[in-house]
Every structure is written in structure tokens, then in C-alpha cells.
Amino acid sequence: MKKVDLMIFDFDGTIADTGADLASSVNHTLAAMRLAPRPDKEILGFVGDGIRKLLERSLGEQAAGRLDEALAVFSVHYEKHLLDRTVCCPHIEEVLKFFNHKMKVILTNKRLSMAVSIARGLHIDRYFMEIVGADSLPCMKPDPRVIDYLLEKYNVAPAKAVMIGDGVNDITVAKNAGILSCAYLNGLGNRETLLQMDADYYCEDLLDIHGLFQ
């Protein structure tokens, strides 16, 4: 087992299963703009680079010039419905309790206010020192400066920090910053893509993390 001092968790698909509410709000946005809906699975394939990219991809070529309109519609709807069907990912609360003695932060490309609302609504915010969102710093994943900020703030050496997430950006930012990476294969991210990324650790079930770090 590897000893770590700081555990950095992704949010969507790792901490919280937000997929249903994200897809619902995207399709509400498309309907409001008189555009054709998309299958939930397709929308969830667009998640990971923040709301702007999510909507840009969902709009596609058909409405490329209407991104600001989409952002406005989506934001109002999602803020009202972000806890309709969102739940904790399987076993994540057991993992957070198990590592209660460790410094833990959330690092997400979701807007901070939305991540905080969900974390509070699911009663898991108490497990974390801090939540860093897309708008918390001048950059976001996979820019290594977001990790550098955390390492400096919490006085942790790169070799003693791990990024745990289900997305390409989570593994990429860890590699870019020289910290450990742990890919969760059953979140929102593409499993096959993650397997090709040569993460330091892989887990099928979040409970596997118990046996990887100490």
C-alpha cells in the first residue's frame, strides 16, 4: 500500500452520480431552444470539461452560435434540479469515512456553487477540507497549476498526493503535475479510454481504494 497525505477526488462520476440530472437539464435546454434532444448516454460522454464544453458539444454544429443562450437556460434549470436524482456514487461515503484521518479535497471542473450545493445536499461536504471548482482558480483540470495550488496550500510533496477520478482529465492532470493517479472505471468516464491511459492505480469499485492507500 502507498502512503499518501492528500487525497484529491473528482466530483461528477466519482463522488456523486450526477448523470441523470445533467442529461435532464441539457435536454431541457435543447427543448427550450427548439432543438432535438440527445440520448442520455451521448450527453454523459460530453461531461468532464465543464458546463461550457458540455453544452457546446450538446449543441453541436446546429446551434454553434447560441452557446450563451444555452448556458443561461441550462444554469437556471440545473440549479433548481441538481439534486432531483443525484445520489452518492456506490460506497464513496464508506471510503470517505475510512480515510477520515486524511486530508481530502474535491477538484472538479463543475462550477463551485453547483458542486457545493450537491455536496451539502448529499451531506458529504464535511469530509473535505476544500472544494475547488471550475471558477475557483484561473485554470482548471488538466492544467497542473490546480494541483500545484493544492500541494502548496497543504504543504504536501507530489509523491504523497493522489488524484482519484473517473475521467481523462483526472489522470492527465495527475500526470502533468507529477502526483499519483487512480482511475475509477465505473463512473461517467469511458472505461476503455481510461484503461489506455496507464494510470498508477485502477479500481473497479471505490472500496478498492481501501487496499491501495494508507
Judge contact between 118 and 86, C-beta under 8 A.
yes
What is d(CA 130, CA 11) in angstroms, rounded to the nearest whole number?
Answer: 12
CATH assignment of 19-81, given 1.10.3470, 1.10.10, 1.10.150, 3.40.50?
1.10.150
Q: Is 40 known to be catalytic?
A: no
- Domain spans in the chain, listed from the N-terminal domain onward: 6-17+86-211, 19-81
Q: Parallel, antiparallel, or unpaired for β 103-107 and 130-132?
A: parallel
Low-confidence ranges of the chain (pLDDT < 70): none
Judge contact between 13 and 166, C-beta under 8 A.
yes
Which strand ranges, in their side-by-side order, compose the sheet holding 130-132?
130-132, 103-107, 6-9, 161-165, 180-184, 201-203
Q: What are 78-108's pLDDT values in tens digits?
A: 999 999 999 999 999 999 999 999 999 999 9
Q: What is the enclosing helix (H) or strand (E) of 131?
A: strand 130-132
Residue 19: the pLDDT is 95
* Homologous superfamily assigned to 6-17+86-211: HAD superfamily/HAD-like (3.40.50.1000)
Of residues 5, 10, 68, 208, which has the active-site annotation? 10
